[in-house]
Chain A
Amino acid sequence: MLRIECPCCGLRDHDEFRYGGDASVTRPAHDDPDPQAWYAYVYIRANPAGLHREFWQHVTGCRQWLVVERDTRNHAIASVELARKLAPRKSLARKSPA
């Protein structure tokens, strides 16, 4: 069973959490007119076989959104942080691919 060390609640089974997908993509500005930027944000994923930054929400616990760094080959978790501590969003990640 995959277990995530929640900063608020401690080590918990992953089925207490809801997956939120790739945390390394950045939403374009709301008024960004470039369809390529939106295409990249919605669809393009690096999908690495290795370390992956991803959102999880502790839905049956503290309900905090977390950013977890996990190896997709063996599920080893390298780090867990509160997503809101990583705000502003630009600091979350590399720029979107487009």
Chain B
Amino acid sequence: MSRYSAFSIFRNALSGQKNWQRAWRAAEPKPSYDVIVIGGGGHGLATAFYLAENHGIRNVAVLEKGYVGGGNVGRNTTVIRSNYLLDGNTQFYEFSMKLWEGMSRALNFNVMFSQRGQLVTAHSADQLDGFSYRANIMRLNGIDADILDRDEVRRLVPYLDFSDTARFPIHGAIFQGRAGTARHDAVAWGYARAADGHGVDIIQNCEVTGFLRDGDSIVGVETTKGRIGAGKVGLAVAGHTSVLGAKAGLELPIESHVLQAFVTEPLKPLVDHVVAYGADHFYVSQSDKGGLVFGGNLDGYNSYAQRGNLGVVREVAEAAIALMPCISRVRLLRHWGGVMDMTPDASPIICPTSIEGLYLNGGWCYGGFKATPASGWCFAHTIATGKPHPLITAYGLDRFSTGHTLDEAGAGPSAWLQ
């Protein structure tokens, strides 16, 4: 694998850009691997990369039923932040943030990580008190956080509705300056290329249809490209964890729900940060192409369809206009849906399972993208050592039966209300 650099761009320019190597091999499955990771999204590819990079396990395959980056890693709204309240989440997402900060260099692939800052508006004194509590916890954990008053918010984002007629007047905001966005496709491609560089086989159009067992242990997988043996199998198929989990015999506290995202026609630079609306579920950033990228709530009923319903389009548009009346005449370019694993406490599940040889990474709700590097790092550790990484001990499957749920939203156990 040749390294990408300014020099390689110059050298390839001399030959008309015709001699670039493909970024990763089109691998066909070998009879068996030390580890098979199911799911060629961000988390699966990151897991494979860190298995090789951190643990020296290079006889690894990533099996993807479609194409690399065709699932949720290419369907999210690319926001990265580490402003979590609860112990377990706070430290995990900050570890992820630190990995994001070094990712382009570590992968030799520009993931266009842009720390433009993220703010969440507060619309009452009480809400701002709540944000101060959160900011204090972040700072005690060494994470940057600022509380802004109304005038400071206005200086930062003057295009929000500061008029006397605003339905929910802006009271202040919580701000994390290191938060931002990244190019999501580049994250998948960067991990795929770096994992391939370590010898990992990335096998696309290879759907897992069942598991091979020896007694109670899982020793491989049945796929549309035949049987493949494995010392260990890691599931990283958030959105479809229940489907594959059922094939393995796991009973899971997960429902699949569809979440929509939107992009408008390109505008001149307007939104310099990631802005989230504290009075409703709406958040927005502006892509490098100029489109406003935004999202809102789940559609709200179990769904495996990667498309959403018009009612949510209307609700999101209403929230958008309430926060930013200036975009009322901007036209929507595209909207799409992704299938989320929703857990009853809105926190993920990464752990060994009760089945020997099977490891679980799922339940990412709508927070999976920002977690990609830390998820891969910790899942690789869990698979390699058989024990949960210290940062994910709160993400065990047993937390629901022991009462140790990590309910960041405080929304109760209904997955579709998270």
Contact between A73 and B253, CB atoms less than 8 A apart: no
From 46 to 87 in chain A, residues with beta carbon under 8 angstroms from any chain B beta carbon are 46-49, 52, 54, 70, 72-75
Q: How many residues of B contact A (CB 8 A)?
A: 26
Whether A54 touches B302, Cβ cut-off 8 Å, given contacts A19-B416, A44-B251, is: yes
From B304, B310, B344, B413, contact of A1 by CB (8 A): B310
> How many angstroms between the C-alpha atoms of A17 and B212 in the bound complex?
43
Q: Number of residue pairs across A and B with beta carbons under 8 Å?
A: 71
Whether A43 touches B309, Cβ cut-off 8 Å, given contacts A19-B300, A54-B301, A75-B303, is: no
- CB-nearest residue of chain A to B416: A19
> How many angstroms between the C-alpha atoms of A80 and B418 in the bound complex?
26
From 215 to 265 in chain B, residues with beta carbon under 8 angstroms from any chain A beta carbon are 240, 242-243, 246, 251-256
Kindly state whether residue B17 has any CB partner on chain A within 8 Å.
no
Q: What is the CB-to-nearest-CB distance from B400 to chain A, in angstroms, rounded to a whole number?
A: 5
Contact between B416 and A46, CB atoms less than 8 A apart: no
From 381 to 418 in chain B, residues with beta carbon under 8 angstroms from any chain A beta carbon are 400-401, 413-416
> How many angstroms between the C-alpha atoms of A72 and B253 in the bound complex?
17
Whether A45 touches B253, Cβ cut-off 8 Å, given contacts A19-B416, A21-B414, A35-B401, is: yes
Kindly state whether residue B311 has any CB partner on chain A within 8 Å.
yes
> How many angstroms between the C-alpha atoms of A36 and B251 in the bound complex?
12
Chain B residues near A93 (CB-CB < 8 A): none
Kindly state whether residue B330 has any CB partner on chain A within 8 Å.
no
Kindly state whether residue A2 has any CB partner on chain B within 8 Å.
yes
- CB-nearest residue of chain B to A56: B301
> How many angstroms between the C-alpha atoms of A91 and B297 in the bound complex?
34
Kindly state whether residue B332 has any CB partner on chain A within 8 Å.
no
Contact between A19 and B311, CB atoms less than 8 A apart: no
Chain A residues near B414 (CB-CB < 8 A): 21
Kindly state whether residue B305 has any CB partner on chain A within 8 Å.
yes
Chain A residues near B240 (CB-CB < 8 A): 49
User: Which A residues fall within an 8 A CB radius of B?
Assistant: 1-2, 13-15, 19, 21-22, 35-36, 39-40, 42-49, 52, 54, 70, 72-75, 97
A-B contact pairs, 7 of them (CB 8 A): A2-B301, A21-B255, A21-B416, A35-B401, A42-B413, A45-B253, A72-B305
Sample of 20 more A-B contacts, CB < 8 Å, known A21-B255, A45-B254, A46-B246: A2-B301, A14-B311, A15-B311, A19-B416, A22-B302, A42-B400, A43-B344, A43-B401, A44-B251, A44-B252, A45-B253, A46-B242, A47-B256, A47-B302, A49-B240, A49-B243, A49-B256, A72-B302, A72-B303, A74-B305
